[in-house]
Amino acid sequence: MTPQWSAPTADGPVRATVPVPGSKSITNRALVLAAIADAPATLHAPLRSRDTLLMAAALRALGVGVEDGPDGSWRVTPAPLRGPASVDCGLAGTVMRFLPPAAALATGEVLFDGDEQARVRPMGTVLGALRALGADVDGDALPFTLRGKGGLPGGEVTIDASASSQFVSGLLLSGARYESGLTVVHSGKPVPSLPHIDMTVAMLREAGVAVDDSTPDTWRVQPGPVAGRDWHVEPDLSNATPFLAAAAVTGGEVTVPGWPASTTQPGDAARDLFARMGCVVELSPAGLTLRGPDRLMGVDVDLRDESELTPTVAALAVLADGPTRIRGVAHIRGHETDRIAALVAEINGLGGAAEETEDGLVITPAPLRGGVWHAYADHRMATAGAIIGLVVPGVVVDDIGSTTKTIPDFPGMWADLLGVR
């Protein structure tokens, strides 16, 4: 844990242009696809943060070449995956859930472990599916050992992915390399964050893999080659939202350059969310520009498909004029921390009024005071505290270093945003 960080308070409307690093979701999917491709691949403008560096290190441990380019790119040279190897997942869901299906193609023993908090994150669905497909895996959570046989028969597997869309994405990414391909059937409550599965399917198709997702809750990946290709990584739109929120809560104006006109990133939903809360949002060739209102409005919103925005919306909600209800996010109890319980505890700890519901939370604006905002080793909890600290003096985030998971230098970017560095 890093030393406590005093969140700076804005002395007026925030006005800035903020270039945002690349998408974690795209970077780690591209790394896995490049590692099992038929030819070398290049990732342009990849995110270099804790989660993606852990993925790159894990692939190197399995024998894949991941080399740094002079322009910040990554050149990935595939090779037969092999053990023995140890994989540090950190607290990265994309590493702990995307890499085991690829490691099942390796020859040899692969040990997976991670941070203490990662050991309670749901993993049984992926590991059970791999066993059903022919893999030799010990355990149902971190740490676990996978004994690779150099390939996997594949076939059809039925899972309950209602806790995380990553269960589906992780299996699909390597499915083309299984002898019979892969069919994943979901059975259970609705899958959350479906746009992330759409991203996975789109990237598979870009790599030349045949995927049939025409039947609801069923995804079929045909066996065959994975093309080595250049990947151009978009800015991370979810990571952009705290900076846009700075304009929203201070009545300022922030532009994020490079915001794509069309994307599979769920973070793009932030445009509509900010508008519903009273902001003016404009997309142009220069990027996305947000102008904050005089007063933010509360909303009643279902964030099932873009649940990663929940901490940012909650931070906005405590500073809004009316109550906010966030629905459809029961699954975020299994993220880096129980985000619902954490948000309620921290908002109420600053004098706010928040309560848990079965699938989300309700926030009623109340006068706030300064105090310690606990991050729970969760990058999005940390950035939520920074947003509130712009308006509420004396907010201290206990672990701002957790933001390195997806943003290499959040404190520096935040200081530049406010012009205080």
| pLDDT number for residue 420 | 78
Q: Is residue 308 annotated as a catalytic residue, yes or no?
A: yes
Neighbouring residues of 254: CB distance < 8 A, sequence distance ≥ 6: 14, 15, 16, 17, 18, 243, 244, 246, 247, 289, 290, 417
Report pLDDT digits (tens) over 281-329.
999 998 999 999 999 999 999 999 999 999 999 999 999 999 999 999 9
Residue 266 to residue 157: CA distance in whole angstroms: 26
Binding residues: 24-25, 29, 93, 121, 164-166, 193, 308, 335, 339, 380, 405
Q: Which of 400, 24, 416 is nearest to 233 (CA)?
A: 24
- The CATH number that domain 5-21+235-418 falls under is 3.65.10.10
Catalytic residue among 308, 336, 346, 355: 308
| Spans of all domains in the chain | 5-21+235-418, 24-214
pLDDT in 10s for each residue of the chain, 421 residues: 667 999 999 999 999 999 999 999 999 999 999 999 999 999 999 999 999 999 999 999 999 999 999 999 999 999 999 999 999 999 999 999 999 999 999 999 999 999 999 999 999 999 999 999 999 999 999 999 999 999 999 999 999 999 999 999 999 999 999 999 999 999 999 999 999 999 999 999 999 999 999 999 999 999 999 999 999 999 999 999 999 999 999 999 999 999 999 999 999 999 999 999 999 999 999 899 999 999 999 999 999 999 999 999 999 999 999 999 999 999 999 888 899 999 999 999 999 999 999 999 999 999 999 999 999 999 999 999 999 999 999 999 999 999 999 999 999 999 999 987 6
159: three-class secondary structure by DSSP = strand
Token couple for 345: 């505890």
**Global pTM exceeds 0.95:** no
Place of tokens 């390939």: 151
DSSP secondary structure string for all residues of 255-284: EETT--SS---GGGGHHHHHHHTT-EEEEE
| pLDDT number for residue 2 | 67
Binding residues for 3-phosphoshikimate: 24-25, 29, 164-166, 193, 308, 335
The gap from C-alpha 299 to its chain's centroid, in whole angstroms, comes to: 23
Token couple for 403: 């933001």
Helix axes 166-175, 24-35, angle to 10 degrees: 30
24-214, which class in CATH? alpha beta
Report pLDDT digits (tens) over 350-365.
999 999 999 999 999 9
Residue 168, CA atoms < 13 Å, CB-side half-sphere: 32
Binding residues for phosphoenolpyruvate: 24, 93, 121, 166, 339, 380, 405
